[in-house]
């Protein structure tokens, strides 16, 4: 395709590593560095950020003049959209809704990540997961979660 071969994946990796190093380095600025003899909280992270930046730079530079041997491939947008919010949702609702409804909705949301999962089987699956987990964790092990929280009590 392009005239000069370059490894797009490693370019991205290098840039990402340097960005991460930048973030940590930037966050370190408020911390006291100290001396090598009496190190402050910022000393070790500062050194590490520097090393990470250098490594990122090496990855970035070496990416030029080389073919990308494994293309980037598809991105699981649907997965990202439904899998990642599932634990967040659980965390936000487990106290308010209680263990049972929060878990049911969490499983249901996660199930949406697959195109093969139809709504009715998803409901059945979420229900089964909820019933079994409630039996195991709440009744069996007595975990201190309220089964139904204040938001669903009337």
Q: Which of residues 95-124 bind another protein (CB under 8 A)?
A: 96, 103, 106-108, 110-111, 113-117, 121-122
For residues 134 and 68, give the distance between their C-alpha atoms in angstroms, rounded to a whole number: 49
For residues 7 and 60, give the distance between their C-alpha atoms in angstroms, rounded to a whole number: 9
Tokens representing 4 are 């000069």
Q: How many CB atoms lie within 10 A of CB 82?
A: 18
Neighbouring C-alpha atoms within 13 Å toward the C-beta of 76: 9
Closest by CA position to 149, among listed 105, 79, 96: 96
**Least distance (Å) between residue 6 CB and another protein:** 14
Residues 6 or more apart in contact with residue 8 via CB below 8 angstroms:
63, 68, 72
* Among 66, 79, 119, 135, interactor with another protein by CB under 8 A: 79
* Residue given tokens 């938001």 in the structure block: 151
- Please give the distance of CA 88 from its chain centroid, rounded to a whole number: 10
**Between residue 119 and residue 148, which ones bind another protein under the rule CB under 8 A?**
121-122, 125-126, 129-130, 133, 137, 141-144
**Least distance (Å) between residue 16 CB and another protein:** 7
* Among 41, 66, 139, 152, interactor with another protein by CB under 8 A: 41
**Least distance (Å) between residue 1 CB and another protein:** 20
> For another protein, which is the closer residue by CB, 5 or 40?
40
* Among 40, 64, 66, 148, interactor with another protein by CB under 8 A: 40
Q: Is 10 in the site for another protein (CB under 8 A)?
A: yes
**Least distance (Å) between residue 92 CB and another protein:** 7
């Amino acid at each position: 395709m392009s005239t000069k071969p370059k490894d797009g994946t490693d370019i991205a990796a290098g840039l990402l590593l340097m960005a991460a190093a930048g973030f940590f380095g930037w966050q370190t600025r408020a911390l006291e560095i100290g001396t090598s003899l009496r190190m402050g909280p910022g000393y070790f992270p500062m050194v590490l950020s520097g090393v990470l930046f250098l490594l990122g730079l090496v990855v970035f530079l070496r990416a030029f003049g080389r073919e990308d041997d494994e293309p980037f491939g598809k991105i699981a947008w649907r997965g990202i959209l439904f899998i990642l919010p599932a634990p967040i949702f659980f965390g936000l609702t487990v106290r308010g809704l209680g263990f049972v409804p929060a878990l049911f909705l969490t499983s249901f949301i996660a199930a949406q990540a697959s195109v093969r999962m139809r709504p009715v089987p998803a409901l059945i699956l979420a229900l089964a997961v909820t019933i079994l987990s409630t039996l195991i964790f709440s009744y069996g092990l007595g975990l201190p979660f309220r089964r139904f929280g204040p938001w669903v009590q009337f």
